[in-house]
């Protein structure tokens, strides 16, 4: 046993003195791989450890790159799609104007009308774009003029035109991408420790802290609903309610399984471990969008047993709500007032139930997409935090960021990663709409 421990130590330290030839040859025969099998565990290969910041090629799930606005517009599918929209608009307009007095096809009429009003802004932008492009073409002819002043004017005009064209193109793209129903809502964030025991729980606490700071950085309200600690200062499970501008739109990309690779604090022998933790993001519906019948709920409190009322004085104000049809449970004991605990538990329950419904809907809608950012649910392995190599890799887009400590502060680096994910997701939606296969 001591011998195996020594070999493992040596592998990590890079000093290959205290081992037998047999063990060493088994390790070195695997030297061409990134990790080696020693005993029953996998360790990074000695060769890799010797290099600092070794080359690592993560295999992104999709081979694609972020296209610029101009590149997208240059491609044919978008042009075709815009033409299609224009024809649809003009047809619908004709139908509406002609059947003004008719009440025959009421349903169709209404549909066409709503379609026209929805497409109005987009058509406006397309017209503006055409005008600007025409102006741009005119400046070309002006440039050929002999007069230097005119040339200068032309150059200035050209630049202005270009900028305006860029803006309008961006607006058109954002118009094409449909607004999700849940994008405007607040959210409930849930973190749970995964595989890895105490180390996973410690990591969960760090990630929860990171999101708390991120919320503060973005100016969102962060209200802890539940916080289950572990013995060593880690976190088993926690939930928080985040509300603010675009909170769900940004945070939905954080959902999934986060993986950490480092030497844990609890580790006495300096071995590297891989642990995981899960982040779940639940959009929080407003009263109007989602209602729960109070008859379907069973509220459990300590006061339910015994006489209650003036007979008993308890300080146990924990509330547990069970939604009987689905069996979803939520509980809260964060506050001293029972009513407040009940309100918080209801908040969480609504978020959970809404999320179940949403998942069912999005599943149906987005099975076509290649990389379902934010829609695959809780089993998607999204990010790896590698402490020894000081890098964080998001597997969905293949983006790597360095400075793990900085990242866990939840400020600029996390925002950078988040923005990149959002842009990819937008592009993906766009390609989906255009019927592309990139």
Partner 1 sequence: MWIRLRRSLNGFYNRVDPLIVRCIGHKRLYTFHSPGVAECIPAIPTDYRLTVQECVTLWTRHFQLRGVSEPRLSSQYIIAHLLGVKTLESLGQDRLAEFLTHKQMEQTWKLCTRRLTRMPVQYVIEEWDFRDLTLKMSPPVFIPRPETEELVGLMLADLQVKQGTGVSEEANLRCLEVGCGTGAISLSLLNSLPQLRAIALDKNKDAVELTVENAHSLGLQDRLEVHHMDVIRDADMIVRMCSPVSVLVSNPPYLFSEDMASLDPEVHKFEDHDALDGGVDGMQVIRHILTLAPQLLSNNGRVYLEVDPRHPPFIQLWAEGGERGLRYVHTHHDFTGRPRFCVLENDNATYIKTRTSI
For binding to partner 1 (CB under 8 A), which residues are involved? Answer: 205, 224, 227, 229, 233, 235, 299, 301, 303-304, 307-317, 333-340, 342
User: What is the greatest pairwise CA distance in the chain?
Assistant: 100
d(CA 190, CA 192): 7
Contact 322, 295 (CB under 8 A): no
> Cβ closer to partner 1: 341 or 393?
341
> Cβ closer to partner 1: 13 or 228?
228
Q: How far is the CB of 299 from partner 1 (least distance, A)?
A: 5
32: β partners: none
> Cβ closer to partner 1: 136 or 227?
227
> Cβ closer to partner 1: 288 or 304?
304
Q: How far is the CB of 92 from partner 1 (least distance, A)?
A: 41
> Cβ closer to partner 1: 103 or 313?
313
Locus of tokens 């607040």 = 186
> How many degrees, rounded to 5, is the angle at CA 238 between CA 407 and CA 321?
155
Q: How far is the CB of 213 from partner 1 (least distance, A)?
A: 13
Q: How far is the CB of 308 from partner 1 (least distance, A)?
A: 6
> Cβ closer to partner 1: 97 or 313?
313
Q: How far is the CB of 229 from partner 1 (least distance, A)?
A: 7
Q: Is 47 left (phi over 0), alpha (psi -120 to 50) or beta?
A: alpha
- Supply the Cα-derived Rg of the chain in whole angstroms: 29
> Cβ closer to partner 1: 141 or 310?
310
Locus of tokens 């999700």 = 180
Instruction: Please give the backbone phi and psi of residue 186, each rounded to the nearest 5 degrees, phi first.
Output: -85, 180
> Cβ closer to partner 1: 43 or 203?
203
Q: How far is the CB of 205 from partner 1 (least distance, A)?
A: 6
Q: How far is the CB of 233 from partner 1 (least distance, A)?
A: 4
Q: How far is the CB of 428 from partner 1 (least distance, A)?
A: 38
Instruction: Please give the backbone phi and psi of residue 31, each rounded to the nearest 5 degrees, phi first.
Output: -70, -15
401: β partners: 392
Q: How far is the CB of 134 from partner 1 (least distance, A)?
A: 57
Long-range contacts of 157-166 (CB under 8 A, 24+ apart): 161/132, 161/135, 161/136, 162/136, 164/132, 165/129, 165/132, 165/133, 165/136, 166/69, 166/70
d(CA 402, CA 23): 35
Q: Is 43 left (phi over 0), alpha (psi -120 to 50) or beta?
A: beta
> Cβ closer to partner 1: 81 or 227?
227
Contact 82, 124 (CB under 8 A): no
């Amino acid at each position: 046993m001591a011998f195996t421990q020594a070999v493992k130590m040596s592998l990590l330290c890079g000093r290959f003195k205290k081992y037998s030839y047999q063990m060493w040859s088994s390790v070195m025969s695997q030297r061409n791989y990134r990790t080696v099998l020693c005993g029953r565990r996998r360790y990074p290969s000695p060769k890799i450890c010797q290099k600092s910041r070794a080359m690592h090629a993560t295999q992104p799930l999709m081979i694609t790159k972020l296209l610029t606005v101009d590149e997208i517009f240059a491609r044919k599918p978008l042009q075709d799609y815009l033409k299609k929209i224009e024809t649809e608009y003009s047809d619908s307009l004709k139908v509406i104007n002609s059947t003004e007095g008719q009440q025959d096809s009421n349903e169709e009429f209404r549909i066409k009308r709503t379609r026209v009003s929805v497409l109005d802004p987009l058509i406006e932008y397309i017209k503006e774009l055409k005008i600007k492009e025409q102006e741009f073409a005119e400046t070309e002819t002006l440039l050929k003029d002999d007069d230097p002043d005119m040339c200068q004017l032309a150059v200035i005009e050209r630049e202005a035109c270009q900028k305006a064209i860029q803006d309008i193109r961006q607006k058109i793209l954002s118009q094409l991408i449909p607004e999700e129903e849940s994008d405007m809502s607040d959210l409930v964030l849930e973190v749970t420790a995964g595989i890895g025991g105490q180390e996973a729980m410690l990591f969960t606490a760090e990630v929860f802290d990171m999101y708390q700071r991120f919320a503060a950085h973005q100016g969102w309200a962060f209200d802890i609903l539940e916080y289950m600690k572990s013995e060593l200062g880690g976190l088993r499970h926690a939930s928080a309610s985040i509300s603010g501008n675009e909170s769900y739109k940004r945070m939905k990309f954080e959902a999934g399984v986060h993986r950490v690779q480092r030497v844990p604090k609890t580790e006495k022998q300096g071995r590297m471990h891989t642990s995981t933790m899960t982040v779940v993001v639940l959009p929080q519906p407003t009263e109007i969008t989602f209602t729960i019948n109070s008859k379907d709920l069973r509220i459990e409190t300590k006061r339910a047993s015994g006489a209650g009322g003036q007979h008993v004085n308890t300080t146990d104000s924990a509330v547990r709500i069970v939604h009987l049809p689905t069996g979803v449970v939520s509980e809260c004991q964060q506050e001293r007032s029972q009513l407040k605990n009940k309100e918080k538990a209801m908040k969480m329950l609504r978020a959970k139930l809404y999320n179940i419904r949403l998942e069912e809907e999005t599943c149906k809608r987005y099975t076509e997409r290649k990389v379902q950012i934010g829609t695959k649910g809780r089993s998607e392995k999204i990010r790896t935090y590698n402490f020894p190599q000081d890098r964080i890799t998001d597997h969905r887009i293949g983006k790597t960021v360095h400075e793990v400590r900085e990242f866990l502060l939840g400020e600029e680096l996390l925002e950078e990663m988040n923005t990149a994910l959002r842009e990819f997701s937008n592009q993906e939606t766009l390609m989906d709409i255009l019927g592309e296969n990139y």
